[in-house]
Structure 1
Amino acid sequence: MVPELARVLELLEHGFASLRVLVVGDLMLDRYVEGEVERISPEAPVPVLRQAREYSRPGGAANVAMNLAGLGLQTALCGRLGRDVAAEDLRELMSGSGIDATSVLESAVPTITKTRVVSRTQQLLRLDVETRESIPADEDAALAERAAAAVRGMHAVVLSDYAKGALSPEVCRRVIEAARREGIPVLVDPKTRDFSRYRGSTTICPNLSELSVATGVAAHHTEALLAAAHELLQQIDVAFLTVTMSERGIRVLQRGEPDFVSPAKAREVFDVSGAGDTVIATLAASLAAGLGLPTAVELANLAAGIVVGKLGTVPVSAGELVGLLTRSPVVSSNEKVLTRERARARVEDWRAAGETIVFTNGCFDLLHVGHITLLEDCRRFGSKLVVALNTDASVSALKGPSRPIVSENERAKVMAALASVDLVTLFAEQTPLELIDLLRPDVVVKGGDYTVQTVVGHELVAGYGGRVEIVPTVEGFSTTNIVRKLTGGGAA
């Protein structure tokens, strides 16, 4: 269970959009060549790949930025790109994400590219194109100036260091000082041996191998390595270390506090490329929003679990996290009752994650076995069930002034407590047509006293490619009959 779940869902659905995060670091273009290996070359003992497709994705700091944009944050990027085709390709790939790349410096140094040759899910070879020349001093100074200036107005900063030259000690110092003046967190993904260049940051997020290089303690000596990490934490004035430990999850080391661990989330692993980018991006989004550290780490762990199940460098999306976090029985009834706008946002996230949305509506006054049967039948048609509930005023208009017996808030709470229901929202109109138009469910379900032609919105639903389903009613059960029994009138 993710702490602060209601707040997390609110942020994923629309709250992150008000936050701005800056990513500074090494920009790369990740290229992929995929195909099938069916034989060994007669020229040399190497596999022959029959190429099926080739594509590119943002890598390095650009992938961190893509993850932040995918979570819904306003994202700015600062780094270096060459004057070459790879830079043009990278800018084009990021163009639809809303990332602000105005602080990216045009460099005389070629754009870094990594080309992975893959058969099925197995990497056969990686070809890197990069220079080993030192970054010109004037470029380094210009990048430091741009990066420090870009910090203003941000809610968090990420330093994505792939040890390719963008994050010199001077750039790190200027950015961290600027962020501290703004009072915002700085998160670092390190690839260098010397963590002292990140002095004064909020957290550094190494994996065990990177931590081993920084401390000089072998990665397989876990206890000694963590002890050395605590000593390092004191030396470099960092609030905490966030250590990714593969199948052992994420461990947080804090000054003066006991460590805590977020266990790894069991998922099938296809490719760990970019998982660290997703972790630091999710942590940055969470800390920018003021979420607690345990919440931030748990959310980052879940996000990493999503991306390692994909092939290649692929960012996480808010919709994927919402889909994961709203699986029953994880979600409490309070987190299922949503306003109309939040209902729309959650349904959009579910749809983006591949869920099939089912919709039904009604008064549901004095819940009975007929209602339960209807709701369970609804679940046969999809993976997420939305229940639209008539407001009290709407029920009175339909059923008379003595109804409802149970208020709208109580009815919504009871409905949301059912395992078959994923979302409850209220509507005050005479019919749910406006709500159906807003949510665009894949399937609308009504009980057997309807026909498809008498269901409100059937033409609208058919028009956008959905469908209407009619399920049998359970005879002899109705709220009206229950009321008559309670008042001594007998069954109808």
Structure 2
Amino acid sequence: MTETHSRLASAVPLFTTAQVLCVGDIMLDRFVYGVVDRISPEAPIPVVRVTRETAMLGGSGNVVRNLVGLGAKVQFLSLVGDDAAASEVATMLGALPNVVPMLEVEQGRATSIKTRYIAGSQQLLRADQETIRPLTAHHEATLIANAEAILSGSTGAACTVVILSDYGKGVLTPLVIQKIIAAARQAGVPVIVDPKGRDYSLYAGATLVTPNRKELTEASDLPTGNDDDVIAAARVIIERCGIAGVLATRSQDGMTLVTGDELSPAGQVHHLPAEAREVFDVSGAGDTVIATMGAAMAAGLDLVDSAYLANIAAGIVVGKVGTAAVHADELVTALHHQDLDQAETRVLSLDQMAAQVERWKAQGLRVGFTNGCFDLLHPGHLSLLRQARAACDRLVVGVNADASVRRLKGETRPVQSEAARSAVLASLMMVDGVLIFGEDTPLEVITRLLPDVLVKGADYTVETVVGADLVIANGGQVVLAVLEPGQSTTNTIRRMTAETL
């Protein structure tokens, strides 16, 4: 399992190569936060004392937010009204990197607004303002033409996955769905659908649909109470509706991936247990699932690996309040944490570590940094870490990722995965933070963190220590730690090999 985590963690950066076409119903999600400390004298209802309000993209817009957070590039087709909410939506889309929005504007239509009232972490009420009707024939033809142009490559922008985010508000009419799926199949591009309604034959030809348990029950007319029920219901959808696969999201029971003959000759079933440690809000979790599936598949991962990542992403997002999005560094961090027993860990992504280092420096603490493969922890490593910690108030340790170790040490290394190595280091009292880096040297990490103290072994000189010039120019110090004679991972492995011969 550990090898799977390491492999998938190293695949997440590939999401930046993903090119996704997303089509669906966009909304504006408003969140009104407050405190409830009394009951209304007018009726037996809580009185919310509003403390703040926020707004963000919802519906298919939240799918786009998740895609961007994961690093994908997105071309986005949708429909809005001619109102203030539409202007707000357009502004938010314009602020997102790597998104090309193509919004049709329909006169007289109300852009969907969903307002949620929240006290603490509890959602009390949702109020909807929207127009629910199919888009006009003119807008339908324009949207189809834009999608077909993208899929044919005539716009010059590549597309390797299509996501249809159907919230039933009228953008994804039967004709729009049919034409886009047909164009995608002709182009050899997989189509992933977050479905709506009971009739999934509308999505015939799609690669994958991602219903939740309730939606799967309604669409199949079958119970979905246990694993066997879910499998049977998914197979009915596959056979009856002409869909290649079903990824059923099942809340506390995780997710189940069922594929038909088109995707795997014998048909396969994969159960993925729930990953959330604590659930605060499931709003938008389905958006995160389909976005992660889309980004992963567009980056070249297969269905099973994509579903595994989507399951972990869903576990992250339900631990947040509101229509939240997941980010690539959170996904990598979560993969590394799969092998840890404790909830609180000191293994962080580069972004998270940079923020932590800033907090430490703001407190007047000297931050030290050292790095290495740390494949088999031995007394020489411990001596280095003790000397490093003695030179600073907080010590951050950079660990070479598995792929980096292989490049530096050969194909037989590492002996232990990056998750295992970082977990062991994080358990040491002299270590305050651990991060994993994929490059052969920690230059990018050092540039980002700018530690006050940079520590390497005395087999280096100050001039040959990577990043020494940056640290010194920033007023920092380079410390060369005394080495323990005869202690190295290579020697340890050599002795172990000799003993087995």
Which category describes the TM-score, using the shorter chain as reference length? Answer: 0.7 to 0.9
| Conserved 8 A contact 1:360-1:445 | yes
CA distance in 1, matches of 2:127, 2:487: 73
- Structure 1 equivalent of residue 145 of structure 2: 145
Alpha-carbon distance, 1:155 to partner:
0.4
1:319 equivalent in alignment to 2:338: no
1:375 equivalent in alignment to 2:385: yes
User: CA-to-partner distance for each residue in 1:100-127, whole Å, 9 max, x for gaps?
Assistant: 3442211221110100011011111101
1:93 equivalent in alignment to 2:92: yes
- Structure 2 equivalent of residue 386 of structure 1: 398
User: CA-to-partner distance for each residue in 1:1-29, whole Å, 9 max, x for gaps?
Assistant: 3775555334422x222221011000001
User: CA-to-partner distance for each residue in 1:239-294, whole Å, 9 max, x for gaps?
Assistant: 11000011111101122424210111141111000110000111111112221222
| Conserved 8 A contact 1:24-1:159 | yes
1:478 equivalent in alignment to 2:485: yes
TM-score, normalisation: structure 1: 0.77
CA distance in 1, matches of 2:375, 2:4: 31
Alignment of 1:17-416 (within 5 A): 17-108=16-107, 109-152=109-152, 153-220=158-225, 223-224=228-229, 226-255=231-260, 256-327=266-337, 348-351=350-353, 359-360=369-370, 369-375=379-385, 385-386=397-398, 409=409, 413=414
Larger Rg: 1
Say which SS state the counterpart of residue 128 (structure 1) adopts. strand
CA distance in 2, matches of 1:163, 1:207: 15
CA distance in 1, matches of 2:216, 2:227: 10
User: CA-to-partner distance for each residue in 1:184-238, whole Å, 9 max, x for gaps?
Assistant: 1100001221101100000011001001111223444764454233122112221
| Conserved 8 A contact 1:208-1:245 | yes
Say which SS state the counterpart of residue 44 (structure 2) adopts. coil
CA distance in 2, matches of 1:221, 1:370: 52
Letter in 2 for 1:440: L
CA distance in 2, matches of 1:235, 1:104: 34
Say which SS state the counterpart of residue 103 (structure 1) adopts. strand
Moved more, 57-66 or 91-100: 91-100
Moved more, 416-425 or 61-70: 416-425
User: CA-to-partner distance for each residue in 1:350-409, whole Å, 9 max, x for gaps?
Assistant: 547868996215899998624323236768966862168xxxxxxxxxxxxxxxxxx962
CA distance in 2, matches of 1:111, 1:480: 67
User: CA-to-partner distance for each residue in 1:114-161, whole Å, 9 max, x for gaps?
Assistant: 000110111111010012444333322332222332334200000000
CA distance in 2, matches of 1:367, 1:42: 66
Alpha-carbon distance, 1:80 to partner:
0.2
Say which SS state the counterpart of residue 164 (structure 2) adopts. strand
Alpha-carbon distance, 1:299 to partner:
0.5
Say which SS state the counterpart of residue 115 (structure 2) adopts. strand
CA distance in 2, matches of 1:225, 1:6: 30
CA distance in 1, matches of 2:355, 2:224: 37
CA 1:300–1:234: 2 relative to 1, 3 Å: same
CA 1:412–1:220: 2 relative to 1, 3 Å: closer
CA 1:375–1:114: 2 relative to 1, 3 Å: same
Moved more, 279-288 or 434-443: 434-443
What's the Cα RMSD here? 3.9
Say which SS state the counterpart of residue 93 (structure 1) adopts. helix
Letter in 2 for 1:169: P
- Structure 2 equivalent of residue 403 of structure 1: none
TM-score, normalisation: structure 2: 0.76
Say which SS state the counterpart of residue 102 (structure 2) adopts. coil
CA 1:124–1:201: 2 relative to 1, 3 Å: same
CA 1:291–1:377: 2 relative to 1, 3 Å: farther
Letter in 1 for 2:52: R
CA 1:437–1:362: 2 relative to 1, 3 Å: closer
| Conserved 8 A contact 1:21-1:158 | yes
Q: Percent identity?
A: 39
CA 1:253–1:408: 2 relative to 1, 3 Å: closer
| Conserved 8 A contact 1:75-1:98 | no
| Conserved 8 A contact 1:12-1:322 | yes
Structure 2 unaligned segments of length 5 or more: list them: 153-157, 261-265, 341-347, 359-366, 401-406, 426-433, 489-501
CA distance in 1, matches of 2:338, 2:224: 38
CA distance in 1, matches of 2:452, 2:250: 43
CA 1:294–1:355: 2 relative to 1, 3 Å: farther
CA 1:378–1:173: 2 relative to 1, 3 Å: farther
CA distance in 1, matches of 2:191, 2:472: 50
| Conserved 8 A contact 2:209-2:243 | yes
Moved more, 247-256 or 94-103: 94-103
Alpha-carbon distance, 1:438 to partner:
2.9
CA 1:468–1:160: 2 relative to 1, 3 Å: farther
